[in-house]
Amino acid sequence: MWRATVFTLFPEMFPGPLGLSLAGEARARGVWALETQDIRDHGRGKHRAVDDTPAGGGAGMVLRADVLAASLDAGLAADDTRPRLLMSPRGKPLRQARVHELSAGQGAVLICGRFEGIDERVIEARSLEEVSIGDYVLSGGELAAMVTLDAIVRLLPGVMGKEASGTEESFEGGLLEYPHYTRPRDFEGRAIPAILLSGDHTKIAAWRKAEALRITKERRPDLLGTMDGGTAPKK
């Protein structure tokens, strides 16, 4: 069973969307497991404070190193080798190649930051891998953790209905996905491309590849030159 452990100040946010659709059904069938650890359980003082003012001054607050370290140490076994992913806008972008790597393992630990950031010392001391889901800032890491888990869980064996569903889509093979069509044949004067109704699977495959290349050139030229969509373009 693939296991996810999420460290958060808001455990009530989980499973959230992960309790529905493919991820929820797979969790109910025991394909993967989700547990949460409340960081505030290890807060300091009567009010269980978890943050403090930034050293050197500045706006906002910073999650304390000792609090997060205590939470991680209490919630994880000493021999737990799962990757420890810190959701962070300054992290390495999450690519499909990394998602595949994570889905092939035993599970992952996801740490949800809040405030202005997390004390750098706990990131170093507990070997946290900073991961970003995009070039924007969220109020906290919980939504990023859900996105990351959804991307991983759908690749676990037995989650998707057809094996091909996970191989013929965006970022698999370094291209964005080709266009899709279904009934009705004509919609507001727009017809399904005739080649898709021809029954010639060789020509259909060639058309889909050409369309995927066209869309990638138009929308994500940075992906061209890669084979898996998870690395920087080749020079």
**Residues 99-146 pLDDT 10s:** 999 999 999 999 999 999 999 999 999 999 999 999 999 999 999 999
Task: Tell me the H-state helices in the chain.
Answer: 21-28, 65-75, 96-103, 120-125, 142-153, 201-219
Percent of the chain clearing pLDDT 90 (strictly above): 89
The CATH code of domain 2-153 reads 3.40.1280.10
The CATH code of domain 171-223 reads 1.10.1270.20
**What's the CA gap between 76 and 112, in Å, rounded?**
15
Domain boundary assignment for the chain? 2-153, 171-223
Are 118 and 141 in contact by the 8 Å Cβ rule? The answer is: no
Instruction: Write the DSSP symbol of residue 181.
Output: -
**What's the CA gap between 88 and 130, in Å, rounded?**
6
Confidence at 161, pLDDT banded by 50, 70, 90: confident
**Residues 33-91 pLDDT 10s:** 999 999 999 999 999 999 999 999 999 999 999 999 999 999 999 999 999 999 999 99
Q: pTM higher than 0.85, yes or no?
A: yes
**What's the CA gap between 167 and 182, in Å, rounded?**
20
